[in-house]
Amino acid sequence: LAKTTQPISMDSYEGQEVNITCSHNNIATNDYITWYQQFPSQGPRFIIQGYKTKVTNEVASLFIPADRKSSTLSLPRVSLSDTAVYYCLVGVSYNNNDMRFGAGTRLTVKP
């Protein structure tokens, strides 16, 4: 049973806000939600991590509803360089490191 479900692909245009939603219906009480970005031929790069409500950093925002069964990564004003695969992970907690990646969402930003 997949731990996370994301759209396979998304298209956007430069300057738009992009929201990628991840479903994780079986999230455990101790699980954090973590997002990574991967460019072709490179290793993934950490974007953001959260447990509940909203987290914001210089790159993105992460919105987590009260039931925590989904989360939304929000990328403000995307540029062509944001074209990448975005992975949602669930399972990292204070006493566990489940670092299994799902299929990810391939975001293509067009001019």
101 belongs to the binding site for another protein (CB under 8 A)? yes
Q: How far is the CB of 44 from another protein (least distance, A)?
A: 5
Q: How far is the CB of 74 from another protein (least distance, A)?
A: 19
1 belongs to the binding site for another protein (CB under 8 A)? no
Comparing CB distances to another protein, the nearer of 40 and 111 is 40
Angle, alpha carbons 31-65-52 (nearest 5°): 40
Comparing CB distances to another protein, the nearer of 73 and 104 is 104
Options 1, 41, 66, 67; binder of another protein; rule CB under 8 A: 41
CA-based radius of gyration for the chain: 13
42 belongs to the binding site for another protein (CB under 8 A)? yes
Angle, alpha carbons 106-54-19 (nearest 5°): 25
50 belongs to the binding site for another protein (CB under 8 A)? no
Reading the block at residue 52, the tokens are 């509940």
Binding site for another protein (CB under 8 A): 32, 34, 38, 41-46, 49, 85, 87, 92-104
